[in-house]
Amino acid sequence: MSGPTSDPSPPSFRTPARGVLFDLDGTLIDSAPDLVGACNDMLNALGRPPVALETARGWIGNGARRLVERALTRDFDGEAPAQLMETAYPLFQKCYQANLHRDSMLYAGAVKTLAQCQATGRRVGCVTNKPGAFTRPLLEAMGLSRYLDPIVSGDDLPKKKPDPLPLEHVAGQWGLPPAQCLLVGDSVSDFRAARACGMPVVLVSYGYSQGLDLFELGPDAVIDSLAKVLNIIDPA
């Protein structure tokens, strides 16, 4: 599959969304250096060779457990033995917690975009597949948590993206139908979750798309900068 290409500018899609939901990893924050670093610390402790950052970037996006399985098997579709995961996953959690934001970086425009969405009176939240033990500490350390309410992590509800439940949960909490919200993400999980509940979805071209051509996937728009979210939302 070919990777995402540069987006047309400005996007022709427009929405009067009253609530905007953002994915975390690959959308607001480039967390790959610390995620892969934790994988390599785990692999080192298990006596296994490290994985390359650029290779492992393509493994991010389906939750921490899947990332660990891919690192252990060196296979996107790999499934590690349950006994190995019982040792490896807690080890990964410990390694990642120790270096949660050592090398992670905000994507350009993240703070400004959240602040301006909030300033227009719209609700702004975060829905991620990242475990809750990591989500809020990372958002707080990167200065984003004050703009986001609610923050829904991958283990907060019985199901996570690509199931629509987290998006429906937030829309319901806001008292809005999904059609009056907007999801900004980077992956097929974001796309499928939004489409399943009728929520408009915009994908960023710089995130963890796992090699998919985002234009062929068919979101409402593909953008190459978070700042372009503000061009998509009609004035309140």
What's 231's DSSP letter? H
pLDDT at 210: 85
pLDDT at 195: 98
Instruction: Give the domain 19-30+104-232 fold.
Output: Rossmann fold (3.40.50)
User: Residue 18 pLDDT more than 70?
Assistant: yes
pLDDT at 234: 84
Calculate mean pLDDT across residues 93-121.
96
Q: What is the DSSP string of 94-123?
A: HHHHHTTTSS-EEPTTHHHHHHHHHHTT-E
pTM summary value: 0.92
Which of 7, 23, 25, 220 is labelled catalytic? Answer: 23
Q: Whole-angstrom Cα distance, residue 107 to residue 111?
A: 9
48: left (phi over 0), alpha (psi -120 to 50) or beta: beta
User: Residue 9 pLDDT more than 50?
Assistant: no
User: Residue 214 pLDDT more than 50?
Assistant: yes
pLDDT at 11: 59
Residue range 32-98 forms a domain whose CATH class is mainly alpha
pLDDT at 211: 83
pLDDT at 7: 46
Per the model's pLDDT, the better-predicted residue between 5 and 54 turns out to be: 54
Residue 186 is a catalytic residue: no
How far from each other are the two terminal CA atoms of the chain, in whole angstroms?
Answer: 39
**Domain residue ranges of the chain, discontinuous segments joined by +:** 19-30+104-232, 32-98
